[in-house]
Structure 1
Amino acid sequence: MSKPVILAVDDDASVLEAVVQDLRRKYGAEYRILRAGSGQAALDTCAQLKQRGDSVALVLSDQRMPGMSGVELLERVQHVYPEAKRALLTAYADTEAAIRAINTARISYYLTKPWDPPEEHLYPVLDDLLEAWSQGYKPPFEGLRVIGPRWSVRDFEVRDFLSRNQVPYVWLDPERDAEAVELLQRYGLEDKKLPALVFADGKTLVQPTQTELAERIGLRTHAEKDFYDLVVVGAGPAGLAAAVYGASEGLRTLVVEPEAPGGQAGSSSRIENYLGFPSGLSGADLARRAYAQASRFGAEFLTQRVCGIRADHHYRLACMADGREVSSHVCLIATGVHYRRLDVPGVERLTGLGVYYGAALVEARSCRDEEVFVVGGANSAGQAAMHFAKYARQVTMLVRGDSLEKSMSKYLINQIADTSNIRVETHSGVEEAFGEGRLESLRIRGPEGERTVPATALFIFIGAAPATDWLPEQVMRDPNGFILSGPDLQVEGKYPSIWKEKRSPYLLETSVPGVFVAGDVRHGSVKRAASAVGEGSIAVQFIHQYLSHF
C-alpha cells in the first residue's frame, strides 16, 4: 500500500524546494512528499492520484500564484479530496484573506512566511493537522469487523461504544454485505445471535457485554491501586480537565468512566467556538487530545461504572458496579448530563431502532440519501443537523420555540441558513413514533396542524437532565437533581443546609466534605464545553486547599 501524500504548491521554485525539504525531513518516513509549481499542476496531480486510488493527507499551498490563488486552489481540491487537510502559506500582508478563507473556503489553517525554524513555526501546526486527518483516514482495513443488522439495539450500542472509544472497525450488515455472510459461515456463527465481532487475530465475540468488550479492546476495567489522592467520576470535559491538572500537579489520579472519554461533548460533530481552534474540532478530537494529555501526566483511566460514594473518616470511597471499592482522599463528581427523554408514544419502544438521543454519529453514514429529523433548537441540535446534512437527503429540525435565536449560537444559525438541505420548522414537535422493529414514520405537530411523514431516523436533543440518581442522599441536590456546592449550601431558607464543618465549603465542594463537583452536573453551571473545562481545572485548586488540612 502506497503512503499517503503531502502536496506542496508554490510558483517560486526556491520557496517550493525549501518547503519540500522541510516536509521530507520530518514526514518523509510516513508520507510521500510531492510538489507542484502552479494551481493547475496541483489539480492535475490530485486528479491522477485520485484515479490511482491514492490518499492525500495535506495540501500546503502558497496564496499568491499567477493564474490561480492558493485559496481558489484549496477550494477546488476540496471537491477532489474532501477529507484532506488544506493549509495556506501566506505573506504577513495576506493574513486577513487567510482568515476569511477559514470561514468561506473552510481551509484548515494558514501559516505565515517565513516559517523558520520549522520546529517552532511549521511542524507543530502540521503535526496537529496530520494527526486530525489520520483519525478519519480509512486505509485498506484488516482489523475488527462488527457484523449485525442496522435495526438492532445491541448492534448500535456495540458500534457506538467502539466509535466513542475511537477503536477502528468495519461494520457489515448481513442483509446487505456478502462479506458478512461469508465471515459468519467461516467462523461458525450463522446460528448465533448478532452482533458478532471478528478480530484481526481470528478470535470472535458474540453479543458481548460492555465489560467484555472493554477488556477485549484493551481498556482497563479494574483499578491498578487501592488508594488514590483523587478519584474523578466521569470523563467529560470537566473530568478530563481535572485529570490533566490533578495528575500534572502530582496527585495520584484515577478517572472512572463507564462509556468513553468526552461525555456528551464527545459526541458533538463540530465545536467551532472553542478557544484556540479557529477551524473548529470535533468533540471526539477534543476528548482524544485531553485523554492523551492526562495519560501523559500519569492519570489512570478505568472503564467502569460508579454506583455510589461514601465517606469513611478522612477517606472517600467510590463503589464500583462490579462490587469493588476504590479509596481516595477526594472525589470529584463530573458525570455531566444526559438528554431528557421525549415522552410521546412509540419513542421509548423504538429507541436504538431509528430513534436516538444525542448525535449518534455512528448512524450518520447509514442515513445517506434519507430524511433525518432532529428535535431541539440548541447548539447540540444545530451541530448534529450540520453533520447529518453531509449524508442525508433532507434534515428537518423540529423546534418548539418561535426561532433558533434564543438557544443557538449565531455562527450555527448562519451555517444552517446557508445549508440547502436543512429545513427548520418552528412551533413544531413529535407527537408519536410508529414502526414494527424499526422507526417507519412520525406524527408531527406544527402550526398548520398534524401530519404523518415517513421517517427512518429521529435524533432528540431536548434539554439536559443530571446523572445523579446513584448518589447518596447526603450529597444535596436541587429539585431538578443538579448538585449543590459552595455558597449554595449556605443560602438561608433556600435549601436545608446539612453543612456541619466549622469552615465554609470551598467553591465547588458538595455537602459532603472532600467530595467536589464540576461541569454540567453542578447546580448553576453554564452548559458549555469551555466552562466545564474551566470548572474541572479550578476544582483541583480547591482540592489542594482541602488536602492541605491533612
Structure 2
Amino acid sequence: MSRAVARDLRRRYGRDFRVVRADSGQDALEALREIKLRGDTVAAMLADYRMPQMDGIAFLEQAMDLFPHARRALLTAYADTDAAIQAINVVDVDHYLLKPWDPPEEKLYPVVDALVETWRAVGDRPVEETKVIGHRWSAPTYEVRDFLARNSVPYRWYSVDEPEGCRLLEAAGAGPEDIPILITPDGKVLRSPTGAEIASVVGLSTEPAAEFYDLIVIGGGPAGLGAAVYGASEGLRTVLVERQATGGQAGQSSRIENYLGFPDGVSGSQLTERARRQARKFGAEILTARDVVGLEARGSARVITFSDGSEIAAHAVVLASGVAYRSLEASGCGDLTGRGVYYGSASTEAQACGGEDVYIVGGANSAGQAAVFFSRHARSVTLVVRGASLEQSMSHYLIEQLRAIENVHVRVGTSVVEAHGDDHLEAITLCERESGKTETVPCGHLFVFIGAAPYTDWLGESILRDEHGFVRTGPDLLAEGRRPAGWSLDRDPLYLESSVPGVFVAGDVRSQSVKRVASAVGEGAMAVTLVHRYLEER
C-alpha cells in the first residue's frame, strides 16, 4: 500500500486502529501471519492492484484464509477497472477505489468508514453453524437444504447413513421417521420443519414490523429486489415479501454472464446477496417464507393477505411474484422429484454429481448456465432439447461456451418421456421426436429447465391476466380504446399498472415482458417511479 494512503489513514483512524503498511504482497501476508499469531484481529484490508510479486486480488485471496471476516477494498487505476470487477467476483471485495483518491475526505474516508462500520457490526465472530440430518434421497431433506442454501444460511449436512449423523440423531432424541432434522447453533431441534419454521430460527425475518406501509413488494426476484432498493432509497417505507428465497429463478443461476457490469460473470446467489444487502441498507424490510394468498383494494389502501389469515396494507403494491419452472410431464418424474429429479440448478447437489452422468432438460439460458456449472463436477453433462437447435432459445455466447466444453453433449429434437427408480432416480427414457426411437440411459441426476408458469393463481378476478396467466398492464388493458371494467380513475392505466389502480407489475410475471435479469431490475425501478406518480395524484 502506498505511503500516501497509509499517511491519510493514520491521520483519520490512527487514534482507534493500528495502520500497518507493507511494500509487497508477501510482506503484507507475513505481517498478517504475525497479527494472527498474536491473537489480534483485522478490521479492513486495502490492497493496491499493482503490487510487487503478486497483484492485489491474489493477495486478498490468500489474506482471506487468515482473516475471513476482515472487510476488503482494492485500489485500482482507471485502466484496471476490469481488475476491480474480477475482484468483486473472485474475492467478494466490498469496495474498489480509483486512483487518485484525493481529496480523501470525499473519496477515501467514506469507503473506509463503511468498511469499519460493517466490521464492527459483524466482528470476528465465528460463523454459527446450523446442522441438517437427513437422507440423501429424501425429498423433504433436499427441500430443507435448498431453502437454507438459497437464503445464504450456512449449514452442515449429515447423512443418517454416516456415524456422525446417527450420533446427532440419537442426541436429538429422534429417529429416521423424523427426518429431516434441523439443529440450530443453540441446540434447538426441529423435526421435519417447514420453511417458515426454519426462517424463524435461523435469523430470517418473517413478521412485519408495521401494519401499514407506503409500498409492498410481492416477490423477491430481480424485479422485486430492484423495486425494494429504489423504493426504500427514495424514502418510501417499503416491505418485500418472499415466499421462498430472494433471487427467484435468477438466484439459482450458477453464472450470469450477460448482466451489465460483470464481464467475468456473477453467480445468481452473489447478485442476490448484494441486492438484498443493498435493500436493507436503505431500510427496506424483507420478509421470508411468507405466502401471499390475497390482494384487494379497500378504499385508498391496497391490502395483502397471508396464508395464516394475517394482513398488511400499503398505499401501493408492486407485484413481482415471478414464475416457476413447469413440471416435466414424464412418467415417474413426480414421485422422484427431490430424489434425483430437480427443478432449477440445485447447486446443493453439485458435489454428489462427481463422476456421474448428468442430464439437463431445456434449451434456454438457464439450462445452458447449469450445463456449464455441472460440467466442472460431473463426468458428462447432456442437454436434452426438444427444439431443433439451441439457436432458437439460447444466447450465442453461451452456445459457444458449451461447444468448447468436452464433457458437454447436446441432443436436440429429443424429450424425456419416463423416469425410472425406486427410492431415487436410476435411469431415464429419451425419445427422438422425428423417428420416435426411444433409448433408456442410466441417470442419477436430472435437472429440469422447461419454461415457466406465472405465479398468479392466488390473484382475484379484479387483476386481469392473459390466456397464459401473466398479468396485463398499461396499454395492454385498453381493449378498443376502453379502460378496464371497474377502473376508478380519470386517466388510462400507467405503463406498468394493472387493472387495479395502485397495483403495479414488474418482471417475468408481467404479460409480454422480456425474460431477462436486466429488464426485470429495470422494470422494478420503473415501477417505483410510477408509484410516485400514482401517490402524487392522491
Q: Is TM-score (shorter-chain normalized) higher than 0.5?
A: yes
Corresponding residue number in structure 1 for 2:257: 272
Inter-CA distance 266–512: structure 2 relative to 1 (3 Å threshold):
same
3-state SS of the aligned residue for 2:537? coil
Corresponding residue number in structure 1 for 2:122: none
Q: C-alpha displacement at 1:186, in angstroms?
A: 2.3
The residue type paired with residue 186 of structure 1 is A
Residues in 1 aligned to 2:234 and 2:471: alpha-carbon distance in whole angstroms? 26
Q: C-alpha displacement at 1:316, in angstroms?
A: 1.6
- 2:440 equivalent to 1:452: yes
Q: C-alpha displacement at 1:99, in angstroms?
A: 7.4
Residues in 1 aligned to 2:250 and 2:324: alpha-carbon distance in whole angstroms? 11
* TM-score, structure 2 normalization: 0.81
Q: C-alpha displacement at 1:18, in angstroms?
A: 7.4
- 2:492 equivalent to 1:504: yes
- 2:489 equivalent to 1:489: no
Structure 2 stretches lacking a partner, 5+ long: 32-43, 116-124
**CA deviation vs aligned residue, 1:130-184 (integer Å, no higher than 9, x gap):** xxxxxxxxx98761110111111110111111111111001111214x2211212
The residue type paired with residue 526 of structure 1 is V
Corresponding residue number in structure 2 for 1:406: 392
Confirm or deny: 8 A CA contact 2:340 2:425 kept in the other structure.
yes
Confirm or deny: 8 A CA contact 2:76 2:84 kept in the other structure.
no
Which of 342, 353, 359 is 1:373 aligned to? 359
Inter-CA distance 59–453: structure 2 relative to 1 (3 Å threshold):
farther
Matches within 5 A, 1:119-268: 143-176=129-162, 178-190=163-175, 192-268=177-253
Q: C-alpha displacement at 1:441, in angstroms?
A: 0.3
Residues in 1 aligned to 2:361 and 2:423: alpha-carbon distance in whole angstroms? 21
**CA deviation vs aligned residue, 1:433-456 (integer Å, no higher than 9, x gap):** 111111110111247732111111
Confirm or deny: 8 A CA contact 1:106 1:279 kept in the other structure.
no
Inter-CA distance 230–211: structure 2 relative to 1 (3 Å threshold):
same
- 2:336 equivalent to 1:334: no
Residues in 2 aligned to 1:235 and 1:277: alpha-carbon distance in whole angstroms? 21
Inter-CA distance 280–22: structure 2 relative to 1 (3 Å threshold):
farther
Q: C-alpha displacement at 1:488, in angstroms?
A: 0.6
The residue type paired with residue 219 of structure 1 is L
Which of 311, 314, 325 is 2:300 aligned to? 314
3-state SS of the aligned residue for 1:260? coil
3-state SS of the aligned residue for 1:377? coil
Residues in 1 aligned to 2:371 and 2:469: alpha-carbon distance in whole angstroms? 29
Question: Which moved further from structure 2: 415-424 or 337-346?
Answer: 415-424
Number of corresponding residues? 517
Confirm or deny: 8 A CA contact 1:232 1:253 kept in the other structure.
yes
Inter-CA distance 21–118: structure 2 relative to 1 (3 Å threshold):
closer
Confirm or deny: 8 A CA contact 2:46 2:75 kept in the other structure.
no
**CA deviation vs aligned residue, 1:163-213 (integer Å, no higher than 9, x gap):** 11111001111214x221121222322355101112221221111122211
Q: C-alpha displacement at 1:463, in angstroms?
A: 0.9
**CA deviation vs aligned residue, 1:45-74 (integer Å, no higher than 9, x gap):** 9xxxxxxxxxxx999686697xx9969x96
Inter-CA distance 245–59: structure 2 relative to 1 (3 Å threshold):
closer
3-state SS of the aligned residue for 1:181? helix
Matches within 5 A, 1:385-534: 385-446=371-432, 449-492=437-480, 497-498=484-485, 500-501=487-488, 502-534=490-522
Residues in 1 aligned to 2:439 and 2:199: alpha-carbon distance in whole angstroms? 43
Confirm or deny: 8 A CA contact 1:87 1:107 kept in the other structure.
no
**CA deviation vs aligned residue, 1:255-305 (integer Å, no higher than 9, x gap):** 111111111111111112222223222212222222222222222222211
Residues in 1 aligned to 2:268 and 2:517: alpha-carbon distance in whole angstroms? 9
Confirm or deny: 8 A CA contact 1:489 1:499 kept in the other structure.
no
Corresponding residue number in structure 2 for 1:294: 279
The residue type paired with residue 242 of structure 2 is E
Question: Sequence identity of aligned pairs in percent?
Answer: 49
3-state SS of the aligned residue for 1:492? coil
Q: C-alpha displacement at 1:335, in angstroms?
A: 0.2
Inter-CA distance 86–388: structure 2 relative to 1 (3 Å threshold):
farther
The residue type paired with residue 144 of structure 1 is T
Confirm or deny: 8 A CA contact 1:315 1:328 kept in the other structure.
yes
* TM-score, structure 1 normalization: 0.80
Q: C-alpha displacement at 1:531, in angstroms?
A: 0.6
Residues in 1 aligned to 2:46 and 2:351: alpha-carbon distance in whole angstroms? 26
3-state SS of the aligned residue for 1:525? coil
Residues in 1 aligned to 2:134 and 2:502: alpha-carbon distance in whole angstroms? 46
Residues in 2 aligned to 1:424 and 1:43: alpha-carbon distance in whole angstroms? 46
Inter-CA distance 549–151: structure 2 relative to 1 (3 Å threshold):
same
Q: C-alpha displacement at 1:36, in angstroms?
A: 8.9
Confirm or deny: 8 A CA contact 1:63 1:88 kept in the other structure.
no
Confirm or deny: 8 A CA contact 1:489 1:511 kept in the other structure.
yes
Residues in 1 aligned to 2:208 and 2:75: alpha-carbon distance in whole angstroms? 48
Q: C-alpha displacement at 1:38, in angstroms?
A: 9.2
Corresponding residue number in structure 1 for 2:333: 347
Q: C-alpha displacement at 1:395, in angstroms?
A: 1.2
Residues in 2 aligned to 1:542 and 1:280: alpha-carbon distance in whole angstroms? 31
The residue type paired with residue 485 of structure 2 is I
Corresponding residue number in structure 2 for 1:132: none
User: Aligned-residue CA RMSD in angstroms?
Assistant: 4.5
Confirm or deny: 8 A CA contact 2:232 2:238 kept in the other structure.
yes
Corresponding residue number in structure 1 for 2:343: 357
The residue type paired with residue 506 of structure 1 is L
Residues in 2 aligned to 1:395 and 1:345: alpha-carbon distance in whole angstroms? 22
Q: C-alpha displacement at 1:370, in angstroms?
A: 1.3
Residues in 2 aligned to 1:70 and 1:119: alpha-carbon distance in whole angstroms? 27
3-state SS of the aligned residue for 2:441? strand
Structure 1 stretches lacking a partner, 5+ long: 1-7, 9-14, 46-56, 130-138
Corresponding residue number in structure 1 for 2:119: none
Confirm or deny: 8 A CA contact 1:16 1:35 kept in the other structure.
no
Question: Which moved further from structure 2: 152-161 or 281-290?
Answer: 281-290
Q: C-alpha displacement at 1:327, in angstroms?
A: 1.9
Inter-CA distance 155–123: structure 2 relative to 1 (3 Å threshold):
farther
Inter-CA distance 496–487: structure 2 relative to 1 (3 Å threshold):
closer
Inter-CA distance 144–433: structure 2 relative to 1 (3 Å threshold):
same
Confirm or deny: 8 A CA contact 1:476 1:484 kept in the other structure.
yes
The residue type paired with residue 372 of structure 1 is V
Q: C-alpha displacement at 1:226, in angstroms?
A: 1.6
Inter-CA distance 251–34: structure 2 relative to 1 (3 Å threshold):
closer
The residue type paired with residue 382 of structure 1 is G
Corresponding residue number in structure 2 for 1:48: none
The residue type paired with residue 319 of structure 1 is T
Residues in 2 aligned to 1:391 and 1:20: alpha-carbon distance in whole angstroms? 47
**CA deviation vs aligned residue, 1:512-542 (integer Å, no higher than 9, x gap):** 1222111100001000111111111111121
